[in-house]
Structure 1
Amino acid sequence: MEIDIGNALDSVATPGVSRATLERLDGRVADAHARIEAGLDGRDHGYAALALPETADPDAIQAAVDPIDCETLLVVGIGGSALGAATVADTLDLDIEVHTLDNVDPAHTRELLDSLDLSRTAIHVVSRSGTTAETLANFLVAREAMDAAGVDWTERTLVTTGQAGNLRNLAERHDLPALDVPTGVPGRFSALSTVALPAAALGGGDVEALLAGARSEAESLSGSLFETPAYAYGATSYALAQRGWRVNAMMPYAESLETFAEWFAQLWAESLGKEGVGQLPARALGATDQHSQLQLYRAGPRNAMVTLVRPRDRPDLPIPETDLEGLSYLGGASLGGLLDAEFEATEASLAAAGRPSIRVELERVDAHGLGELLYGMEAACILAGELFSIPTFEQPAVEWGKRAARGLLGGGEFEEARAVEEKTRLLID
């Protein structure tokens, strides 16, 4: 992974980050790196995510999925318990279809289950606690659908959960293959683990290459942002946020990375949105959103930096010659060449308007490249959290909502549930 922060400098963006500022900030990066290293060595909560390229066990994952034969995988989870698998599945060319049930919209759940051949579908249900309401509800619905279709769900279910809890008990009672969630790793940092990698293993993806890509990025971590691509991204994003650029639009120029932008949005928002700081992540897709969102980023409020991601090497498709007036310049070109031109035009357009952008380039979109990208963004996020001086690995706002919902459903007495009764109303009929 290579990072170009040139268009975030004050010679381009207004306001931007000066070289002198980056030099001063590099001292803080060195201090933050020392804390990160200590947390990593001690496998402290959250920092343990950066050890996953070494601690993840591909053999155990493969052994868990070996008994399962399927054409479709249904991942039942929410947030980090589903987005990592969705990103892996959508980025890599797997041999199976992968769908996620990560919402409890009854219309969507019913439509999805009705569309699947459940006799050729496997379920991977993921919940650290084994009590996540949305996940368990969707799993119970999917399990009943299999029963109704005459399918033995116990032959087609894989569990990833903690050492104890409802799902662990269920797995033991029905002798289901079960994997442990990694200790000390929040869900949004778990893509390189038993949470997401079973999807790749079931679909013939190269799990070893994913982890190797992550390891190569881990080996680049040093105490300087000028030597570490992940830290360059995290530190520059932090510096831009401090200058008022409080939106971070993640804009990959590869269709297969669209879900990666969604994964990034959770990572960045849930980790950094605390104590009045952070950046609002926006999801975009190049070149599609050049024709929509770019208008706002270039000419709207001066609050959005754009992260442009592309592979250097990609499959290509030639554009046929044409005699249509005004389009002859396209003949002999290719879709890949056009996409690269769109990328560079967007980058130049933002710079011409004094808006900052950061370029992220991968050698190619494959398992190794995805491993680099996922690990790099996790390390960048952790570094940014250190610079913001916030508890990166906590999510109190998320937990508040969970308690409120559980109380409303009769799952216990929670003060947060009572806040629903106090809602201010101004009805317009």
Structure 2
Amino acid sequence: MEYNLYFDYENKKAEKEAFENVLKEYESQEIGYYHLPESSMKFKDINFEDFSEIAIIGIGGSSLGTKAIYEMIKNKFPLKKMVFLENPDPIDLIGKFKELKNPLFFVISKSGKTIETISIFKKVIEHFKLKPKAKNLKIITDPGSPLEKFAIDWGIECFNLPKNVGGRFSVLSAVGMIPLKAAGADIVSILQGAKDFRDRFFEKNELHLLKKASFYARNYKIYPVNVLFAYATILSAFKEWFVQLFGESLGKNGKEIMPVGHIGSIDQHSFLQLLMEGMGHKTITFLQIKNFDPDFKIPNINLPYLNATDFVNDHTFAELINKECEATKEALLAKEYPVDEIIMESLNLKNIGELIMYYEILTSAIGSLLEVNTYNQPGVEIGKTILRNKF
């Protein structure tokens, strides 16, 4: 993968501080996500009975990362269909229930008491007539949680994630790796890609990350918004994962770097206008896939009255979308936005693992320089308390 920064900034003191902060987290093992590439390898040999679909009952960090990986790879690798029962939206749930013919359910909640997840789980029990010792039901939760106690009571297989791994950092744990393995994904390659990037970072071979983190953290009052412009429809769920990761980790103590996720070229026809002629004050990250597969071409057809578009005839769609990315990047650079880019040479499982680890370490580095607790979410907890008092 290729990482390029198109802004001139150097703060060696901040870069050194960021590196020392995340190194301390890594070596102390207080923050567990750094070590998931090794610890989650134990799931590679797990086998499940044959079910038609994999259904995830979970929300936020319990589903977004898994969905991000699945959406990226579902059309390239032979996988079972995955259905995500996330939101307590009755229309959405009714529609998804109809999609499930022979599902394997995973109920995922770190705390074991997520209101949306448990409410949907109750409806699944009723609708699909689940009983104790059900073979098509698995639980993923913290050790000792109420959900684990339920699993023991019902005789349901239960998997744990480390207590020192937060939900939004948990995709490389049992939360993501076990359901993806059940769907048929090669989780070893995903974990290896994450490990390779982590090792290179701590060997000081990915210094661009520290430069970017120090720029974001030291200039958050000038540039309080980071826009991720991802140039592939299959990256839609990834941008949702990014929004949670940045938003819940970095918005604290009156400080924030607001994450905004967009898909190119679709959002060039809406949000780009705001970027070009709005207030500015945003950093822009372009994420693109260099080599798409298969080689899908625009036909060399000349249509009456439509010849203004013929200059792209006989070129691939990959060329079109990537040149649109380059053109948008050049336009924003001309407006003097701080721009960086992440280029995946191709869409493969190791690159996906690397991308996840890159963003997790970047978030930790920025949070440490902002002097916020990257791993808690007190604002979210207050809302949960208010909700309980409304019933």
- Partner in structure 1 of residue 273 of structure 2: 295
- The one of 239, 260, 263 aligned to 1:285: 263
Question: How has the CA–CA distance of structure 1 residues 62 and 175 changed in structure 2, closer, same or farther, with 3 Å as cutoff?
Answer: farther
Deviation at 1:35, TM superposition (A): 2.4
Does the 8 Å CA contact 2:132/2:155 hold for their aligned counterparts?
Answer: no
- Partner in structure 2 of residue 408 of structure 1: 390
Q: Secondary structure of 1:326's partner? A: helix
Task: Please give the alpha-carbon distance, in whole angstroms, between the structure 1 residues aligned to 2:58 and 2:355.
Answer: 22
2:284 corresponds to which letter in structure 1?
Answer: V
- Partner in structure 2 of residue 83 of structure 1: 64
Tell whether 2:53 aligns with 1:100. no
- Partner in structure 2 of residue 197 of structure 1: 177
- Partner in structure 2 of residue 237 of structure 1: 216
Task: Please give the alpha-carbon distance, in whole angstroms, between the structure 1 residues aligned to 2:206 and 2:354.
Answer: 16
Tell whether 2:384 aligns with 1:397. no
Q: Secondary structure of 2:200's partner? A: coil
246-255 vs 372-381, which moves further: 246-255
Question: How has the CA–CA distance of structure 1 residues 155 and 227 changed in structure 2, closer, same or farther, with 3 Å as cutoff?
Answer: closer
- Partner in structure 2 of residue 228 of structure 1: 207
- Partner in structure 1 of residue 99 of structure 2: 115
Structure 1 segments unaligned to the other structure (5+ residues): 10-17, 410-429
Task: Please give the alpha-carbon distance, in whole angstroms, between the structure 1 residues aligned to 2:280 and 2:208.
Answer: 26
- Partner in structure 2 of residue 312 of structure 1: 290
Task: Please give the alpha-carbon distance, in whole angstroms, between the structure 2 residues aligned to 1:270 and 1:343.
Answer: 28
Deviation at 1:228, TM superposition (A): 2.5
Does the 8 Å CA contact 1:73/1:98 hold for their aligned counterparts?
Answer: yes
Question: How has the CA–CA distance of structure 1 residues 334 and 43 changed in structure 2, closer, same or farther, with 3 Å as cutoff?
Answer: same
Task: Please give the alpha-carbon distance, in whole angstroms, between the structure 1 residues aligned to 2:108 and 2:206.
Answer: 37
- Partner in structure 1 of residue 343 of structure 2: 361
Task: Please give the alpha-carbon distance, in whole angstroms, between the structure 2 residues aligned to 1:293 and 1:153.
Answer: 50
The share of aligned pairs that are identical, in percent, is 26
Task: Please give the alpha-carbon distance, in whole angstroms, between the structure 1 residues aligned to 2:141 and 2:85.
Answer: 17
Q: Secondary structure of 2:162's partner? A: coil
- Partner in structure 1 of residue 321 of structure 2: 339
Structure 2 segments unaligned to the other structure (5+ residues): none
- Partner in structure 2 of residue 415 of structure 1: none
Tell whether 2:66 aligns with 1:60. no
- 5 Å-filtered alignment, 1:319-334, equals 319-324=298-303, 325-334=307-316
- Partner in structure 2 of residue 39 of structure 1: 25
Task: Please give the alpha-carbon distance, in whole angstroms, between the structure 2 residues aligned to 1:322 and 1:165.
Answer: 61
- Partner in structure 1 of residue 236 of structure 2: 258
Tell whether 2:50 aligns with 1:69. yes
Deviation at 1:210, TM superposition (A): 0.3
2:24 corresponds to which letter in structure 1?
Answer: A
Does the 8 Å CA contact 1:249/1:283 hold for their aligned counterparts?
Answer: yes
Deviation at 1:341, TM superposition (A): 0.7
Task: Please give the alpha-carbon distance, in whole angstroms, between the structure 2 residues aligned to 1:183 and 1:230.
Answer: 27
Deviation at 1:323, TM superposition (A): 1.9
151-160 vs 281-290, which moves further: 151-160
Question: How has the CA–CA distance of structure 1 residues 233 and 206 changed in structure 2, closer, same or farther, with 3 Å as cutoff?
Answer: farther
Task: Please give the alpha-carbon distance, in whole angstroms, between the structure 1 residues aligned to 2:383 and 2:244.
Answer: 16
TM-score by length of 1: 0.85
- The one of 202, 210, 217 aligned to 2:197: 217
- Partner in structure 2 of residue 130 of structure 1: 112
Question: How has the CA–CA distance of structure 1 residues 125 and 229 changed in structure 2, closer, same or farther, with 3 Å as cutoff?
Answer: farther
1:259 corresponds to which letter in structure 2?
Answer: A
Deviation at 1:360, TM superposition (A): 0.9
- The one of 348, 359, 367 aligned to 1:377: 359
**Structure 1 vs Structure 2 CA RMSD:** 1.9
Deviation at 1:105, TM superposition (A): 1.6
Q: Secondary structure of 2:49's partner? A: coil
Deviation at 1:213, TM superposition (A): 0.5
Deviations 1:131-169 (A, max 9, x none): 11111111111111101xx89881211110111132212
Q: Secondary structure of 1:362's partner? A: strand
Q: Secondary structure of 2:287's partner? A: strand
1:251 corresponds to which letter in structure 2?
Answer: F
- Partner in structure 2 of residue 414 of structure 1: none
Does the 8 Å CA contact 2:133/2:156 hold for their aligned counterparts?
Answer: no
1:110 corresponds to which letter in structure 2?
Answer: I
- Partner in structure 2 of residue 15 of structure 1: none
326-335 vs 290-299, which moves further: 326-335
Deviations 1:1-56 (A, max 9, x none): 332111x33xxxxxxxx4xxx1xx22222122222222212211xx3211211222
- Partner in structure 1 of residue 4 of structure 2: 4
Does the 8 Å CA contact 1:29/1:223 hold for their aligned counterparts?
Answer: no
1:297 corresponds to which letter in structure 2?
Answer: L
Deviations 1:107-133 (A, max 9, x none): 22222213322xx11111111121111
Does the 8 Å CA contact 1:318/1:333 hold for their aligned counterparts?
Answer: yes
Does the 8 Å CA contact 2:37/2:191 hold for their aligned counterparts?
Answer: yes
Task: Please give the alpha-carbon distance, in whole angstroms, between the structure 1 residues aligned to 2:176 and 2:105.
Answer: 13
